[in-house]
Amino acid sequence: MENKYIEISDLQNKVRLLLSQRNEGVFELIQEHNRLAEFNENHEHLGESYINFALYYCLVDVNLGKFLQYTEQAKPYFDLNNNRRAAYFYGNIAFGYQVHSQMPQSQSYFLKAINSMEQIPDLSIAEKKRLAAHYYNLYILFGFSDLGTLDKRYIDRALELNISIDNKLGISYCYSAIVGEYDRQSKIEEALQYSLRRIQIVEELNDPFQLCLAYCSAGLMYAKLADSTMAFSFFAKAYPILFPTGNPQFQAAYYMEIAEAYAETERYEEAITSYLEAIKLYELIGSNLNLSKIFRLLSKAYKVTGKLSEALLYQEKYSQSLLDNFKLDKLLAITATEHEYEQKQQEKETALLKQKNEEIETYVHQLEQSNDDLKQFAHAASHDLREPVRAIVSYSTLLEISLKGKLNPNEQEYISYLKDGGKRMYDMITGILAFSKVNSSQEATDIDLNPIYLQAVENIKLFIAAKNAVVECPRLPVVTGSRTLLIQLFQNLISNGIKYNESEIPEIRIAFHRIGEVYEFCVSDNGIGIDDKHKDDVFDMFTRLHNQEQYQGTGIGLSICRKIVERMGGRIRNQPNQTGGTDFIFTLPAESDVSI
Q: If you average pLDDT over residues 418-431, what whole number do you get?
A: 64
Pair 574, 583: CB distance under 8 Å = yes
Among 492, 452, 459, residue whose Cα is nearest residue 473 = 452
Residue 438 has pLDDT above 90, yes or no: no
* Higher-confidence position of 241 and 369: 241
pTM, to two decimals: 0.50
Measure the CA–CA gap between 146 and 170, rounded to whole angstroms.
25
Measure the CA–CA gap between 552 and 546, rounded to whole angstroms.
8
* pLDDT at res. 462: 87
Q: If you average pLDDT over residues 314-339, what whole number do you get?
A: 59
* pLDDT at res. 442: 57
| Average pLDDT taken over every residue of the chain | 80
* Higher-confidence position of 311 and 217: 217
Measure the CA–CA gap between 291 and 288, rounded to whole angstroms.
5
Residue 286 has pLDDT above 90, yes or no: no
Residue 150 has pLDDT above 60, yes or no: no
Q: What is the pLDDT of residues 575-588, one digit of tens each?
A: 898 888 999 999 99
Bridge partners, residue 585, by sequence: 522, 573
Among 320, 253, 262, 316, residue whose Cα is nearest residue 287 = 253
Measure the CA–CA gap between 534 and 15, rounded to whole angstroms.
38
Q: If you average pLDDT over residues 79-104, what whole number do you get?
A: 83
Q: If you average pLDDT over residues 458-463, what whole number do you get?
A: 87
* Higher-confidence position of 520 and 340: 520
* pLDDT at res. 563: 86
What's the 3-state SS for 184-197? HCCCHHHHHHHHHH
Residue 434 CB partners (closer than 8 Å, separation 6+): 488, 556, 560
* pLDDT at res. 122: 87
Taking the CA atoms of residue 129, residue 130, residue 132 and residue 136 in that order, the dihedral angle to the nearest 10 degrees is 130
Residue 82 has pLDDT above 60, yes or no: yes
* pLDDT at res. 3: 46
Measure the CA–CA gap between 481 and 412, rounded to whole angstroms.
49
- Band of the pLDDT at 446, cuts 50, 70, 90? confident
Residue 425 has pLDDT above 50, yes or no: yes
How far CA 70 is from CA of 22, 85, 313, in Å, comes to: 18, 17, 41
Q: If you average pLDDT over residues 266-294, what whole number do you get?
A: 86
Q: What is the pLDDT of residues 488-515, one digit of tens each?
A: 899 889 988 888 888 899 999 999 999 8
Q: What is the pLDDT of residues 205-247, one digit of tens each?
A: 888 888 999 999 999 999 999 999 999 999 999 999 888 877 7
Q: What is the pLDDT of residues 335-368, one digit of tens each?
A: 444 445 555 555 555 555 666 666 666 656 666 6
Residue 145 has pLDDT above 60, yes or no: no
* pLDDT at res. 322: 63
Q: What is the pLDDT of residues 163-199, one digit of tens each?
A: 999 999 899 999 999 998 898 889 999 999 999 999 9
Residue 127 CB partners (closer than 8 Å, separation 6+): 84, 87, 117, 120, 595, 596
Among 468, 511, 478, residue whose Cα is nearest residue 493 = 511
Q: Give one DSSP letter per residue of 295-342, joined into a string.
A: HHHHHHHHHHTT-HHHHHHHHHHHHHHHHHHHHHHHHHHHHHHHHHHH
Helix pair angle (152-164, 168-184), 10° resolution: 150
Q: Euclidean distance between the first and final Cα of the chain, in Å? A: 24
Within a 10 A sphere around the Cβ of 557, how many other Cβ atoms? 20
